[in-house]
Structure 1
Amino acid sequence: MSLQADLTDLLLTDPALADLVGARITWGRRAPGEGLPALVLMRVGATHDYHMKGVTALRRTRIQADILAATLAEASAVEAALTARLDGVRGPHGGTDVRGLFVEALRDGLDTDRDGSGIHRIVADLIVHHRLHNKENER
């Protein structure tokens, strides 16, 4: 599996998040007609770790998590559940060996939905230090 699939699985299997967003966790953009609250994830940065012999199997990936909700209270509840589930996570998850996952920064904002209604947005920057378990990393 990929980091994206493993992170999605971590979120989908969390009871608190399931109560709030159900299966409305997507990568890249929110599906047309999808309800709120929802969580939209996007990889916004990724770096490799290096040593004197070249690249290592360690990675540092920045994920932007957009929490979208009709009210600030709903968005804040999703933020709390997301932070409780992910901040400080370590260990193997699917094919990813998470060395540390942290909620680094939070930003609030407002947006407009496709129908013109207001959306409360909380953007969470997630930093994932990880190593994928696959042949590509056997250097």
Structure 2
Amino acid sequence: MEAALINRLLVSAGVTALVAQRITPGRRDQGGALPAIVLHRIDGQRDYHLTGASGLVASRMQVDCWAATYGDAKRAARAVDAVMSGVRWTVGDVRIDAVLIADERDDTFDEDGNALYRTSLDLMVHHAIA
């Protein structure tokens, strides 16, 4: 599922115009080029019914949009929102039934004496287990 989300961002001209190919799972290299997007899977709740597992999961994904300016972080987050919010698709054996924006927050950090801005989006991704 994570690879399907990253792929969807990488094929979006609106996203790559802002961050190029700097979309990664897990972490951003300290001092790496900006802006950049990092995805983390926070949790996943499997769905069950009376006869067992349904094969569906609701996963919370945190999408961090990092930039050297507040405006660039917000623009990257808006581009992610435009590509992900409310959509469904299938790629290979991965079926995404819905992506919902559950939360958004802003942070500022100091990296080597320079301000670093982050806008984080929490996505609720409803998908089939692959």
TM-score class, shorter-chain normalisation, is over 0.9
Gaps of 5+ in 2: none
Q: Gaps (5+ residues) in structure 1?
A: 134-139
Q: What's the counterpart of residue 14 of structure 2?
A: 16
Alignment of 1:50-69 (within 5 A): 50-69=48-67
Equivalence for 1:29: 27
Q: CA deviation at 1:96?
A: 1.4
Per the TM alignment, residue 112 of structure 1 is displaced from its structure 2 partner at its CA by: 2.0
AA partner of residue 121 (structure 2): A
RMSD: 1.2
| Count, aligned residues | 130
Q: CA deviation at 1:109?
A: 1.0
Residue 5 (structure 2) pairs with residue 7 (structure 1): yes
Hey, what does 2:115 align to over in structure 1?
118
TM-score (norm 1): 0.88
User: Does the alignment pair 1:132 with 2:126?
Assistant: no
Q: Which amino acid aligns with 2:113?
A: G
Which AA in structure 2 matches 1:124? L
CA distance in 2, matches of 1:132, 1:54: 14
Distance 1:75 1:94 in 2: 31
